[in-house]
Every structure is written in structure tokens, then in C-alpha cells.
């Protein structure tokens, strides 16, 4: 009889595992607790602004190789858009200076030596300090390794690491920061092109994956929450979904691709990250000015990044825990005042929505990073996946997809070499 692999959670980790396994002809059932797939990376219709929006603006970089492979596999790579070269426009709200950071394509960073390409107000020499961040010890913070001050820090290192790690950079894990820098800045401009989901996250990353899985005969069961795992001595015996219990046959397996707090409630004693950081997004229903770049970095503001979509401007604020209790209208007004001043649009507040994801990512500190488990567990037919497992990357789309790929590869290895 063919084995069935039960994947719990239809976020990007679960979907990527399902894609890899179905590509090998495996029989897969994905069980998702909510009524939709995508987890923390999805679109929904928002009644306040009368549009379909994403739960949060998500940025990919051209160096996110697993994410791009995933998109190619589901035929959706054309749905990511971005400039032909690695360019990022910035504005400093305090000084009103504007500049465009232009990385050169190759690995040798000659953009550092060109005042028209590097960060406004910096010298080539300033960038030497970044080399210290390439291979730091695991237990160190970014603040232990580099001085978190000065123009280069405020205008490049802080925005980059805040976006990638979703934590105030001085407290962030230097090891995770290093992984980001090695795979982006140090890999050259070819790896740094910013890419966004033109038609929304679900249309780009989720629906094409669901169609591919359906074509390959996989089943995706929504509103099917795993309530408990029945453990045997060295294997999982059954999955308890409340009204239904699924007994696992000898060759069946489980990939648990749920958030860390859900995994910890299902597997007693599992060590997982326990601290989180929020991300705040504000969406405004308004046509962006014709010359508005798709992504604009903002320095010295509450706003950090402004994303322009047809008929909408959206703002991202990482590590936004300080804003969680601010009254929504007050926050919308503060954010819009900055957006209006940057774009030249009228000061009157357009239709808006604020989305605050409290547990957007685990807190990327060295202590929390040390709590991330690998994909293998003590039970031979149970594997873990998710952006919070030990991927070596911060909690990102790329990390989530790599974790799913890894769990699928481990399953295949075990099948080839049964214990
Ligand atoms: C606002 C925001 C902005 C972000 N911006 C970026 C960005 O710019 N770039 C980037 O790379 N990353 C970004 N991220 C991070 C990225 O979204 C995540 O890393 C990624 O989506 C995590 O995927 P996952 O599959 O590991 O987890 P999840 O997406 O959390 O998926 C887990 C799934 O498991 C389901 N589940 C939970 N319990 C059960 C159960 N008992 N039974 C069945 N199903 C269950 C959940 O409903 C969910 O669908 C952002 C995240 C947020 C929230």
C-alpha cells in the first residue's frame, strides 16, 4: 500500500514540503486549521478599504533561491516584480535628503567606491566594518560585533537588518544577521534585487501551489485542526483531529509545519522559541503618485518602508511592538502624515486599515535562536518544519520554504534507508 504523508499546516513550510513530496510521486494530505492556506503569508478581502490586501507587505530578494525555485515549480515566477538591477530608493525624513542605493551585479562591491551608488553621506572606508559581521560567533548580538551608530548604520545596516530580522538590530543575533548579509549584500547585486508579489501574496505564492498540488493528486483539508498526536515508543501512532482520528500505517509519516507555540502544545517537552516580535502594516486606499517607486525606504520616521500598489499605498513597520497598544486611528494619522509628506499627497486621511501581527516572527535574539530545533524528532515518522526551526536564517519566506524542502528530503532519505 502507498504511504501517506500527513502535513500539518498549509503555510509556506507545509506547502513547500507538499510540493517536493508530490513531485516525487508521494501521496500527501495537508491538514490546515483555518479556512485558508498561506498562514502568515496570505491575502484577504478587507471591508474597511474595500480591497483585497496582504496580511503584510512581504519583500523577497533575488538571492532567495529556494523561494524562486518554489515559484518556478508552481509556474508563478512572473508574478514577482522588481527592478532589473538592485536599486533601493531612500528618503531621510529629518534632512529631506533622497538617494538611491545601487549595488553592482558582481560579488566585488565596487558600488562602495562610487558616491553616486553608495549611501548618501558615507565614505568607502565606513563599509569595512561590515566584514566583521560575515562570520561572527553564534552567541553574539549584532551590537557586540559592530558599533550600532553612524550614518552607514542608520541609513543601511539598521533598515536592512530590521527588515530581515524583525528585531531592533543591536539585540539581534549576529549569526542570523551574518546569514542574511552573506546571502544578499556579500553575494552582489544579482542577489539583492527587491521583488514583490504584484497581484498579492495569495495569487503569487499560495493559489498556484494549491493548484499544482491538486493536479498532483494531493488533498488539502481546510478547517481540519490537529488537536493531539498519539505517540508510540519510537513512532507516532495516530493523529487526533477532534471528530476524527487517523491511525498511521507503518510507512506513513507526519510533517508538523505549524507555528512554534502550536508545535509545543502538540509535542510535550519540545524546545521552541518563545518570544516574538510584531510587524505593523498600514494600508491606504489611494492612487500612488506616478513617480512613486514600488518600494521606498524611510529613515528617521515611524514609517520604515512604503510599498506602492495600484490604487493603494502600504507601509511596513518591523519590530512594531511599541505600537501594539497605540489607538488605531491615532496610528493611522501618524503614519499617513509621514506618507503624505514623502509623497506630496493631500494630508486628508484616505480610507485605511491597520494590521498588527503580534507574533509575526520569533524574536531573532541569540537566546531564542538557540532554542530552534532541527527537523528530526525522537519519533522516526515525525518531522518538523517552519520558519522557526533551525534553518540558519531568520523567520522569512526563504527560511520557511527551505525548512519544508528539508523535511521532505529527510523523509525521502529515510524511505531510501529504512531503520
Ligand atoms: C506581517 C508580516 C510581514 C512579513 N514580511 C516578510 C517579508 O517581507 N519577507 C519575508 O521573507 N518574510 C516575511 N514575513 C515572514 C513570513 O511570512 C513567514 O516566515 C512565513 O510565512 C512562515 O511560514 P510557515 O509555514 O513557517 O508558518 P505559518 O505561515 O505560520 O504557517 C503555519 C500554518 O499552520 C496552521 N496551523 C497551526 N496550528 C495548526 C494545527 N493544530 N492543525 C493544523 N494547522 C495548524 C496555521 O493556521 C498556519 O496556516 C512576514 C510575516 C508577517 C506576519
What average pLDDT does range 317-323 have in this prediction?
Answer: 97
Cell numbers at 105, concatenated: 551585479
Report residue 416's pLDDT band, with 50, 70 and 90 as the boundaries: confident
Is there an atom of ligand 1 within 6 Å of 159 CB?
A: no
Question: How many residues appear in the chain?
Answer: 419
Report residue 419's pLDDT band, with 50, 70 and 90 as the boundaries: low
What average pLDDT does range 227-254 have in this prediction?
Answer: 96
Residue 152 and residue 185 in contact, taking contact as beta carbons nearer than 8 Å: no
Is there an atom of ligand 1 within 6 Å of 10 CB?
A: yes
Task: Using the predicted structure, report yes or no on whether residue 151 has a pLDDT greater than 70.
Answer: yes
DSSP bridge partners of 230: 238
pLDDT value of position 307? 96
E-strand stretches of 55-144: 60-61, 80-81, 87-92, 98-102
Alpha carbon of 126 to those of 131, 150, 162, 177, 294: distances in Å? 11, 9, 20, 18, 28
Task: Using the predicted structure, report yes or no on whether residue 144 has a pLDDT greater than 90.
Answer: yes
Report residue 417's pLDDT band, with 50, 70 and 90 as the boundaries: confident
pLDDT value of position 195? 96
Task: Using the predicted structure, report yes or no on whether residue 50 has a pLDDT greater than 80.
Answer: yes
Q: Which of 41, 162, 359, 395 to mutate to test the pocket of ligand 1 (most atoms within 8 A of CB)?
A: 41
pLDDT value of position 198? 84
Place of cell 512613486: 292
Report residue 295's pLDDT band, with 50, 70 and 90 as the boundaries: very high
Task: Using the predicted structure, report yes or no on whether residue 115 has a pLDDT greater than 90.
Answer: yes
Distance from residue 213's CA to the centre of ligand 1 (Å):
19
pLDDT value of position 2? 83
Task: Give the mean pLDDT of the chain.
Answer: 96
pLDDT value of position 414? 81
Taking the model in full, what pTM does it have?
0.97
pLDDT value of position 418? 64
Cell numbers at 228, concatenated: 493531539
Distance from residue 144's CA to the centre of ligand 1 (Å):
30
Amino acid at each position: 500500500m502507498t504511504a501517506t504523508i500527513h502535513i500539518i499546516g498549509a503555510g509556506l513550510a507545509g506547502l513547500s514540503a507538499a510540493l517536493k513530496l508530490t513531485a516525487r510521486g508521494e501521496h500527501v494530505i495537508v491538514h490546515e486549521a483555518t479556512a485558508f492556506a498561506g498562514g502568515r503569508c496570505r491575502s484577504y478581502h478587507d471591508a474597511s478599504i474595500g480591497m483585497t490586501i496582504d496580511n503584510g507587505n512581504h519583500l523577497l530578494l533575488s538571492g532567495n533561491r529556494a523561494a524562486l525555485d518554489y515559484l518556478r515549480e508552481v509556474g508563478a515566477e512572473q508574478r514577482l516584480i522588481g527592478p532589473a538591477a538592485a536599486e533601493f530608493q531612500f528618503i531621510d525624513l529629518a534632512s529631506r535628503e533622497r538617494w538611491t542605493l545601487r549595488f553592482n551585479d558582481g560579488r566585488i562591491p565596487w558600488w562602495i567606491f562610487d558616491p553616486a551608488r553608495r549611501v548618501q553621506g558615507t565614505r568607502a572606508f565606513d563599509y569595512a566594518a561590515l566584514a566583521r559581521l560575515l562570520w561572527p560567533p553564534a552567541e553574539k548580538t549584532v551590537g557586540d560585533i559592530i558599533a550600532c551608530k553612524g550614518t552607514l548604520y542608520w541609513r543601511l545596516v539598521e533598515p536592512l537588518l530590521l527588515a530581515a530580522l524583525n528585531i531592533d538590530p543591536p539585540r539581534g543575533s549576529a549569526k542570523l544577521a551574518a546569514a542574511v548579509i552573506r546571502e544578499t549584500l556579500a553575494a552582489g547585486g544579482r542577489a539583492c534585487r527587491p521583488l514583490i508579489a504584484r497581484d498579492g501574496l495569495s495569487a503569487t505564492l499560495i493559489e498556484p501551489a494549491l493548484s499544482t498540488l491538486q493536479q498532483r493528486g494531493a488533498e488539502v483539508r481546510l478547517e481540519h485542526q490537529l488537536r493531539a498526536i498519539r505517540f508510540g515508543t519510537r513512532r507516532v501512532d495516530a493523529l487526533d483531529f477532534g471528530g476524527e482520528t487517523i491511525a498511521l500505517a507503518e510507512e506513513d509519516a507526519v510533517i508538523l509545519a505549524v507555528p512554534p507555540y502550536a508545535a509545543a502544545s502538540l509535542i510535550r517537552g519540545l524546545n521552541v522559541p518563545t518570544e516574538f516580535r510584531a510587524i505593523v502594516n498600514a494600508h491606504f486606499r489611494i492612487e500612488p503618485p506616478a513617480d512613486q517607486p514600488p518600494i521606498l525606504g524611510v529613515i528617521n520616521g515611524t514609517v520604515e518602508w512604503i510599498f506602492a500598489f495600484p490604487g493603494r499605498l502600504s507601509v511596513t513597520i518591523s519590530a512594531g511592538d511599541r505600537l501594539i497598544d497605540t489607538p488605531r486611528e491615532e496610528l493611522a494619522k501618524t503614519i499617513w502624515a509621514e506618507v503624505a509628506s514623502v509623497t506630496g499627497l493631500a494630508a486628508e486621511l484616505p480610507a485605511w486599515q491597520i494590521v498588527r501581527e503580534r507574533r509575526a516572527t520569533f524574536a531573532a535574539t541569540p537566546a531564542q535562536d538557540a532554542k530552534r530545533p532541527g527537523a528530526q524528532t525522537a519519533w522516526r515518522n515525525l518531522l518538523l518544519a517552519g520558519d522557526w526551526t533551525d534553518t540558519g536564517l531568520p523567520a522569512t519566506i526563504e527560511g520557511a520554504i527551505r525548512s519544508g524542502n528539508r523535511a521532505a528530503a529527510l523523509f525521502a532519505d529515510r524511505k531510501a534507508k529504512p531503520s
